[in-house]
Structure formats: C-alpha cells, structure tokens
C-alpha cells in the first residue's frame, strides 16, 4: 500500500498506546514518517513530551500526548475523552507487560495488574474505537498477541494466557469487522529487544528489534490476520505448528527455563520447601 493510500484509509489520526518506548515508540515513528498525526499514550509524560517534540520537528505532523495508567480501571477514560473530536483511523494497542518465573512466586496483585493492562484495557479500546471506526466507515486496529499465546507457557503462564485472549479476540474481530471496512491484525512477535525483558526479568540472547516488528506489522495490515515479525518468531511458529499442543507447552517450558535460568529460587518456593521438610520431620 502506498503512503497516500495508507493515509487515506488509516488517517488522519492514529492512537498508539505504550508509546514511550519499545514497540509502541517504533510504531509511532513509522506512522509519523508516513505523515499521520499521532496520539501518544503512556504513563511517563516527560518521555512522551520529548518524543512528541521529536516527531513534530522531523515530520511536520500534529502530535497529542495522553498520560494514562492503563492498569487502573479508569485508565482509558482520559484517552477516550481527549480523542473524542479527532478522526482516528487506526489504533495500535501496544501497551502491555509480562512476568516470568514460577507463578506461585508472584504477588496476585501484580498478576491482576497485568490482566488489566493486557486484556481489560485492550478490550475497552477495541469496543470504543471499533464503534467509532464503524461510524466513520473503516480503518484499522493492531492488537498484540505473542509467540507464547498459541499454547500454555510454563514460567510465564499468566502472561501467555493474556496474549491468548488478545490473539483470539483479534482473530474473531477481523472476520466480524471485515464487512465494515475495518482491518484487524494480531501481531505475535517472539523475543524483542525492549524494556519488556527487563521488567519481566528474562534474558533473551536471540531477539528482533522494535523497528522490525513495526515495519512487518504495518506492511501486513489489511493483508493478513496474524503476523509473526522477525525470523525467530517465524521459525518457532513454523517448527511448532505440527506438534500437538501438550508438546508445544513442554517445549515452551524449556525455552522459558533457558530465559529465566538466572533467577534465584523464589522466596515463596524456598518457604514451601522448608514447610515440607518441617512437616516431614514432625511426622517422624
């Protein structure tokens, strides 16, 4: 699709969540280069303001900043209010985070917070902007699954589950919205060099770049239902596609184990082991 055709279908405004760094920032830069106006959404105002100034200067576009914490129940309220008068033709729901390690070692509040960002906020955005795109007669939506979202992933169980939700949502909406002129694509990358790995406490030797994720996804928008950016995601997706689901889960467990090998045994795990030993001694 030429830049002019892209602007006509998905412009003049694009909403990008998680725009302060990583994949979201890469999407904002790619879309700005195509002449679209950008709404940058994230929690850190100082970073968003610097990025907005950069995009205005380099591409002579209009940029709005919306500071919002999507882990909060009211996280989308300001986004919806501040974009009400804008002709939004494309939504890139890139905000999200993950955890790794033993499920029982994580505080439940943190896991629920991940559900809020990765699932609830995305669902609200899909419903709100989906209705607006229907009224305007078309547009697009980019939702983010993951290589882990196609099966269970030991040592990243809840994160994989959140991405399975988004992947399934995108697949259903793509068919449902096709008659409305709304293109939906699920981006399902493997490891990517972003701040995600640091927050999730994972070490990734082989990873693609946010620039590749943005480029490949925007190229596939309107042509495919799911895109797997980067060679590793494509290779693993292809190599695992014929394996039964239970085996894919085991394989993903081995991959996650290699990425989390540096983690010490969680305190909860140590406590459970100690309790078991104490209980055994008490029964002797």
Residues 30-85: tens digit of each pLDDT: 999 999 999 999 999 999 999 999 999 999 999 999 999 999 999 999 999 999 99
Measure the CA–CA gap between 238 and 84, rounded to whole angstroms: 42
pLDDT: which is higher, 242 or 136: 136
Concerning whether 234 is annotated as a catalytic residue, the answer is: no
Measure the CA–CA gap between 174 and 179, rounded to whole angstroms: 9
DSSP for residue 20? T
Q: What pLDDT is attached to residue 283?
A: 40
- Does the pLDDT at position 237 exceed 90? no
3-state secondary structure of 240: helix
The catalytically annotated residue of 8, 9, 159, 274 is 159
Q: How confident is the model at residue 201 (pLDDT cuts 50, 70, 90)?
A: low
157: Cβ–Cβ under 8 A, 6 or more apart, which residues? 103
- Does the pLDDT at position 186 exceed 80? yes
Q: What pLDDT is attached to residue 273?
A: 44
Q: What pLDDT is attached to residue 156?
A: 92
- Does the pLDDT at position 194 exceed 70? no
The catalytically annotated residue of 25, 163, 224, 280 is 163
Q: What pLDDT is attached to residue 205?
A: 55
Q: What pLDDT is attached to residue 23?
A: 96
Residue 198, number of CB atoms within 10 A of its CB: 9
Concerning whether 159 is annotated as a catalytic residue, the answer is: yes
Helix (H) or strand (E) holding 33: helix 22-33
Q: What pLDDT is attached to residue 89?
A: 98
Burial-class residue 179 by CB neighbours within 10 Å (0-12, 13-18, 19+): exposed
- Does the pLDDT at position 200 exceed 50? no
Residue 2, number of CB atoms within 10 A of its CB: 8
Q: What is the pLDDT of residues 110-135, one digit of tens each?
A: 999 999 999 999 999 999 999 999 99
Instruction: Please state the rounded mean pLDDT for residues 139-158.
Output: 94
Helix (H) or strand (E) holding 186: strand 182-187
Q: What pLDDT is attached to residue 208?
A: 86
Task: Mark residue 137 as left, alpha or beta (left: phi above 0; alpha: psi -120 to 50; beta: remaining).
Answer: left
Domains, the chain, with CATH or none = 3-283 (3.40.50.720)
Q: What pLDDT is attached to residue 119?
A: 98
Q: What pLDDT is attached to residue 206?
A: 65
């Amino acid at each position: 699709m030429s830049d002019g055709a892209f602007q006509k279908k998905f412009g003049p405004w694009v909403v990008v969540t998680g725009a302060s760094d990583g994949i979201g920032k890469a999407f904002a830069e790619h879309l700005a280069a195509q002449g679209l106006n950008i709404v940058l959404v994230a929690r850190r105002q100082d970073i968003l303001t610097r990025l907005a100034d950069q995009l205005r200067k380099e591409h002579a576009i209009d940029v709005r900043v919306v500071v919002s914490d999507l882990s909060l129940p009211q996280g989308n309220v300001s986004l919806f209010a501040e974009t009400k008068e804008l002709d939004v033709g494309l939504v890139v729901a890139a905000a999200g985070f993950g955890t790794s390690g033993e499920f029982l070692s994580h505080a439940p509040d943190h896991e629920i917070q991940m559900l809020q960002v990765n699932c609830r906020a995305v669902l609200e955005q899909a419903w709100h902007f989906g209705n607006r795109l229907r009224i305007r007669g078309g547009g697009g939506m980019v939702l983010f699954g993951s290589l882990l979202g196609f099966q269970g992933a030991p040592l990243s169980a809840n994160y994989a589950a959140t991405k399975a939700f988004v992947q399934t949502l995108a697949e259903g909406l793509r068919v449902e919205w096709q008659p409305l002129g709304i293109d939906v694509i699920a981006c399902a990358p493997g490891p990517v060099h972003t701040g995600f790995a640091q927050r999730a406490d994972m070490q990734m030797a082989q990873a693609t770049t946010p620039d590749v994720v943005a480029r490949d996804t925007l190229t596939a928008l309107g042509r495919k239902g799911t895109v797997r950016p980067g060679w590793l995601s494509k290779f693993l997706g292809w190599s695992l596609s014929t394996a039964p689901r239970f085996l894919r889960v085991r394989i993903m467990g081995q991959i996650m184990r290699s990425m989390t090998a540096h983690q010490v045994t969680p305190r909860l795990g140590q406590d459970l082991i100690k309790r078991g030993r104490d209980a055994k001694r008490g029964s002797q």
